[in-house]
Amino acid sequence: TWSWMEPMIGTASFVLLCCQFVRAQALKMNMRTYSEQVLQWRASRIAKAFPRYDVSMLRAWAKHMPTCGLHFFPTYERNFRQKGPASGL
């Protein structure tokens, strides 16, 4: 009963292992990961949509916006290890 599912699970496990390896090697070479690239792309789109505002401020703000799910509501996640940027106020 397992024989039909074993090749698919093995292939999926190998793909996940390769993705983890690629991400780890990209971090070692100080390259941007896919998630960082998506944040950079989102920040550039917002800066292009609002040209009257300061580009560096818009990009910094857009990179720290919460992600939205399929229901278009923000998904807030707690992260205790990373400290956000200081506001300077």
| Residue pLDDT, tens place only, 50-87 | 999 998 888 888 877 766 666 666 666 555 555 555 55
In sequence order, the 6+-apart residues with CB closer than 8 A to the CB of 8 are: none
pLDDT of residue 60: 85
pLDDT of residue 48: 92
pLDDT of residue 39: 86
Q: Does pTM surpass 0.85?
A: no
Give the separation between CA 58 and CA 31, rounded to whole angstroms: 23
**pLDDT-derived band at 15, boundaries 50, 70, 90:** very high
